Structure 1
């Protein structure tokens, strides 16, 4: 069963945001910038099916004789990166630091095999099947950036400046943000996961940290003066929405630091923060296992475990959360965050 659909939002002056049809793992926002002299993508969907849909919507908005010849990758997670394969021979731009994260993740075919052969009787197998089963990477070859940069990189697309800023370790070790001054817009990548009352989102997941760097990156987004902020996941935000997200990040950081100081192990700390239920509108609370684990590693200098170990812990905690909801009864379950 594949995921289909997606909304295209016209942000003005040749800029569009493609928003996936629902929330969940792997469903990232993407951007299209069009001029009479060329076009580019900001991030790509996760698999060839979704990338093909984004390409079809993009093609409808291209002037005659214009093609997409650049892809800017805000970070190297596959859900922002692997769909670039539907655009052969394009320039793919990423930070030099993104190479480290590329090596951390499995290849597309490895991930496809892992999901397809997972044992649904185990917490990990059931979780991967539920959340990643709809994607198809069986024929997806690894994608590699063609242009790396450090610091700042300024491009032009026709009359539009495109300003890329590499960020210190935050969501991953190779994040960047894209500032489009003419459109008063920023594509933040996954330093921001957004939510609004009309379109609730999911808990962020941060693989590197520290959270102080994620918060500082959000402040850099605001410092551009942009009025339109397209996060890595979730609805398009205004400046107030970014400030609200900073409040969330500060809460998670404060709780992680307090629990670390109390000698609570990272996994148990994540369980405790989830149990507090501070943000019940957000889905996938088990992702706090990743974010709090990353913050603990920043505090104590421990090594990053393999992605399978991390995801096993996530799956076990997700199972615990679901069992708790079931034990609470129908009324409480209805008031909790919807799984989509």
Structure 2
């Protein structure tokens, strides 16, 4: 292969930022690494996204303790990916919440995803020995549920398929702030390897309808103010649509996966080539788009072996 696999060569620590995006609402970000969110309620704290390992989770906990001594009562996981969920044990929360679809995906492909992402992101899995096993929720829901942190209401919602089939968003209505998971990114490539390209733009439109004052995205800086919120929604939609349309055109004329990769590079490199994890995501994104363009609705399970076979084929 002409390039190191995925992010295997990226072993440089990232600078952490902890940004207040509303009253008692914080975004933990790290230069394109997976973000976490923090909601401080009247009597306890909710954390959104657990990080990849308990060691990384401790960095989030340290930031939480810099602003409050209230107990962490709830962990909300917006989807099933290993880099988001395997650090959950560190928080010792009484509830871990996912959508029922995300829980089903843990059962169906959680171990394969862990094995796959372990090879893709070795830096994020330093300290992996402390992971006790797959993360299972204590609570699930189908479409919507509300959690009360004292008097503060937090709404958890499934707004549609996007990054995965089980994505949820977390809305704090008193501040009109949303934690979107990987449905929205900011100057970071969208990972679409388990995504639903044709559904994603409509899901973004449902987020846009909230007319939010701030968003904490899945990766990239916190987005404060409607101008930044709208710019990120537009940018995410452009990334997803540009990738899928380029692949769809190649697939429609009977082209190969390699042809699709070349066309996506021609269309997307000039616009997105400097985004965080762009090169990491690109082969997985093209492979999934090629499948979806051929009518494969449910993303095929990525395994460590399938990862490397695909990567090798697309580096030729």
1:11 and 2:4 matched:
no
Match for 2:89 among 85, 97, 100? 85
> Which stretch of structure 1 is more off in the superposition, 298-307 or 260-269?
298-307
Aligned to 2:3: none
Aligned to 2:254: 263
Distance 1:307 1:170, change over 3 A: farther
1:73 and 2:71 matched:
no
Task: Check whether the contact 1:51–1:84 (CA below 8 A) recurs between aligned residues.
Answer: yes
CA distance in 2, matches of 1:92, 1:267: 41
Distance 1:269 1:100, change over 3 A: farther
> CA offsets, 1:143-196, max 9 Å, x none?
21110100111222233221111143321121101111212211111112211x
Matches within 5 A, 1:45-124: 45-63=51-69, 66-102=70-106, 103-106=108-111, 110=115, 115=119
> CA offsets, 1:48-75, max 9 Å, x none?
2211111111122224xx2001011110
1:215 and 2:201 matched:
yes
Structure 2 length-normalised TM: 0.83
Task: Check whether the contact 2:22–2:177 (CA below 8 A) recurs between aligned residues.
Answer: no
- Greater relative contact order: 1 or 2 (C-alpha under 8 angstroms, separation 6 or more)? 2
Distance 1:310 1:214, change over 3 A: farther
Task: Check whether the contact 2:258–2:314 (CA below 8 A) recurs between aligned residues.
Answer: no
> CA offsets, 1:17-46, max 9 Å, x none?
1012x33xxx21111111231111011221
> CA offsets, 1:250-288, max 9 Å, x none?
212221221110112334312331244232322433522
Displacement of 1:105 in angstroms is 3.4
Distance 1:108 1:307, change over 3 A: closer
Task: Check whether the contact 2:47–2:72 (CA below 8 A) recurs between aligned residues.
Answer: yes
**Which ranges in structure 2 are unaligned for 5 or more consecutive residues?**
1-10, 224-228
**Which ranges in structure 1 are unaligned for 5 or more consecutive residues?**
116-127, 196-200, 321-340
Task: Check whether the contact 1:168–1:213 (CA below 8 A) recurs between aligned residues.
Answer: yes
Matches within 5 A, 1:177-196: 177-195=169-187
Match for 1:300 among 294, 298, 305? 294
SS at match of 1:274: helix
Distance 1:256 1:111, change over 3 A: closer
Displacement of 1:244 in angstroms is 2.4
1:151 and 2:143 matched:
yes
1:235 and 2:229 matched:
no
Larger Rg: 1
CA distance in 2, matches of 1:3, 1:304: 32
Displacement of 1:315 in angstroms is 3.7
Equivalences, count: 293
Task: Check whether the contact 1:108–1:141 (CA below 8 A) recurs between aligned residues.
Answer: no
CA distance in 1, matches of 2:175, 2:145: 18
RMSD: 2.5
